[in-house]
Structure 1
Amino acid sequence: MTAGHPASWRRYSLAAFWRRLLSPWRTRRLLEAHLIVLFVLAAVASTTLFLSCRQAQHGAEALASREAPAVQGLAATRLAALRADQEAQVLVRMNLLGVAGSDEPYESQLSAADQGLSRIADRTDQDLGTVKGVLDSYSDSLSRAASLRDEPLMQKHKLTEADSMLTRPTVGVVPRLDALQRVQMEHAEATATMGRWQHGGWWLAELALGAMALTLLSALFVLRDRCGRDWNPYLLAAFVLTVLLAVVPLTTTLSTGNDLKEAVKDLRQITDVSRNSGPRLAEAQQRVTETAEEVRRKTADSAWTDEVYQGTLVGGLMAIVLPVLGLGLRLDHDYWRRR
């Protein structure tokens, strides 16, 4: 008969094994031990889960609101500055620099570069004052060159001076922007990457939740085996909640992490395009704009971590309260009142 029902035999063997393992304990002490263990595990799991979710949420928010716009802004500023120089050189070759109405193309690019730096000033910890000052000096040199249309030698001198301010190694606008871009990309990658402590927090939370689920099953078994109570709604609800806490926040964080990695890959592409555009600056600007929209979409997809974070906070508190109610009420009704 038992050979024909291996599943039933396994269930019976497991129940018999657990019954023998718990047999030295008196029922009251056993329930009290389960209550203490559940409280400790729930507190550890809820705390680590809360901290891990908060860190993931902060990382997603920081990338979307600070790091990504800063990387995009630096790339756009670099391309706009180079595009302004390109437009000015075209006017020089056509002998139109300084002619009324002809300066609009490079002036609009200079304005875009200046506005780009202003927009990201509060989104980066790096000092933009120096590069903004050099960019202003470059703009001033171009303006003076335009005003010297009737003095070719002086105009050539000012154009050479402007070109030096733009491309001079280390101290020019472009090299300074390159250095800022390298640091900003490092910040973005660090923000989107889960560190060792974050990994440890998730492992601890998942292990605590797994141990809590097993302890809840053990408590339900004790209540059924020794107290004749088949169902305890508080412990059943706590078990379901424990499974949800073990699955939903982790799944959300992994999905968000993948979105952030893809966003960082796009940010790296934006930086590479701004550095390797060659003379095709207009096309590079268009590519940067399109990729920036893609980054915004991907970082917006991770915004729902805020809802999961709030749900984890509420669920963590309930995971502490429900087992205490389930076992505490039973102990109070069957044992503590009889003292």
Structure 2
Amino acid sequence: MLLLLTAVASAALFLSSRQVQSGAEALASREAPAVQGLAASRLAALRAHEEVDELVERKLVGVAGSGEAYRSQLSAADQGLSRIADRTDQDLGTVKGLLATYSDSLALGTSLHRDQPLMGEQKLGEAHSLLTREKVGIAPRLQDLQRAQLEHAETTTAMGPWQRAGWWVTELVLLAAALTLLSALFVLRDRCGRDWNPYLLAALLLIALLAVVPLMTAYSVQDGLDGALADLRHLTETSWQSAAGTEKAQQDVTKLSEEVRRELAGGTWTEPVYRGALVGSLLAVVLPALGLGLRLDHDYWRRR
């Protein structure tokens, strides 16, 4: 019975801990970078059009080096989408195609604006439509993708009812194992006239640690994930609000992205804890078996 309880407790602890660890890893390596990349790409595309409008307004179209600002923003938007392509399950092909067409329209609009102003204005109008058209434009599409990615991140890291049930099972089975160990210790000491079995005492101490340390670590990690998700929501809302200007929004999103990365980088210390929990779980199974086996060997089998 004791061996069965410790084995079940070890398996439940491993599965529960692994779920928390996998959620933290997914948020740090996939979900958060994807949300940040979509926000940055959307803002870069909007900023590119603002830079072109400023060129036209100031009559700097055609001046050497005058188009570097909007081209760098377009490049940033394209590179941002490319970097997150393998970090999201969403299809980015349509947006990347629209972004390429948008880039061509901006290039034609600025190149034709000097000699053929009407054609240039038409191309710039097409670019603006490609960027902002409701539901099918680049900015609305990226906003929808960002919203879906954020929801996926929340689902990935949430501690659902099954995960909570796993921790309840883990704690209850560990409690049952601890009580069984205590019973075995008292039986060996009082009824069999033996001193406290060091193997069973070590197993009891391990079970107490396994009941406390991984659970506290899991909830600490979950608090960190909740904080990172709150920052991602703030980042998302900031990227959608351009009243203060796209440039200001880009700066705010960059700062929030750095903060999210620092928060998630702090979760790497959990790996040694969970590895230790795995080793401790195995020892919690082995030590009682070893202690009882040695006791039986000394008291009964050798006498035969």
Band of TM-score, shorter chain: over 0.9
Does 2:20 correspond to 1:56? Answer: yes
1:188 aligned residue (145, 153, 158) = 153
Aligned residue among 199, 208, 216 for 2:181:
216
Deviations 1:40-72 (A, max 9, x none): 111110001111111111111110000000000
Counterpart CA distance in 2 for 1:105 and 1:79 is 14
- Count residues in correspondence: 303
Q: Which of 104, 126, 141 is residue 140 of structure 1 equivalent to? A: 104
Q: Indicate the residue corresponding to 1:75 in structure 2.
A: 39
1:165 aligns with 2:126: no
Q: Please state how far the C-alpha of 1:332 moved relative to its aligned partner.
A: 2.5
| One-letter amino acid of the structure 1 residue matched with residue 126 of structure 2 | E
Tell me whether 190-199 or 39-48 shows the greater mean CA deviation.
190-199
Q: Aligned ranges for residues 268-283 of structure 1 at < 5 Å?
A: 268-283=233-248
Any residues of structure 2 matched to 1:97-246 within 5 Å, and which?
Answer: 97-148=61-112, 149-246=114-211
Deviation at 1:277, TM superposition (A): 2.2
Q: What letter corresponds to residue 196 of structure 1 in structure 2?
A: P
Which of residues 45, 58, 66 is equivalent to 2:9? Answer: 45
SS of the aligned residue for 1:335 comes to helix
**Does 2:293 correspond to 1:328?**
yes
Cα distance, 1:287–1:279 mapped onto 2, change above 3 Å:
closer
- Aligned: 1:309 with 2:274: yes
Please tell me whether the aligned partners of residues 52 and 110 of structure 2 are also in contact (alpha carbons under 8 angstroms). no
TM-score by length of 2: 0.97
Compute the TM-score of the two structures, normalised by the length of structure 1.
Answer: 0.87
TM-superposition CA deviations, 1:277-327 (whole Å, max 9, x none) = 225111111111111111111111111121112111111110000011111
Shift, 1:125, TM fit: 0.7
2:90 match: secondary structure? coil
Residue 38 of structure 1: CA displacement?
A: 1.1
Amino acid at match of 2:24: A
Task: Supply the AA of the counterpart residue of 2:213.
Answer: V
- Residue 153 of structure 1, CA deviation: 0.4
| Structure 1 runs, 4 residues or longer, greater than 6 Å off | none
> How many angstroms apart in 2 are the aligned matches of 1:102 and 1:324?
78
Instruction: Measure how far apart 1:336 and its partner are.
Output: 4.1
Structural RMSD (CA): 1.1
- Structure 1 residue matching 2:63: 3-state secondary structure: coil
Q: CA deviation at 1:95?
A: 1.9
Are residues 1:267 and 2:267 paired? Answer: no
2:283 maps to what in 1? 318
- Give distance in 2, aligned partners of 1:324 and 1:100: 81
What is aligned with 1:31? none
| Residue 92, structure 1, aligned to residue 78, structure 2 | no
User: How many angstroms apart in 2 are the aligned matches of 1:254 and 1:47?
Assistant: 19
C-alpha distance after superposition, 1:118-175 (max 9, x if no partner): 1111111111111011011001000001110210100010011000000011111001
Query: Aligned partners of 1:332, 1:206: CA distance in 2, in Å?
Result: 32
Structure 1: stretches of 5+ with no match in the other structure: 1-36
Distance 1:91 1:337 in 2: 96
**What CA distance in whole angstroms lies between the structure 1 residues aligned with 2:181 and 2:104?**
73
Give the counterpart letter for 2:42 in structure 1: R
User: Partner of 2:234: helix, strand, or coil?
Assistant: helix
Please report how far the alpha carbon of residue 230 of structure 1 lies from its aligned counterpart in structure 2 after TM superposition.
2.3
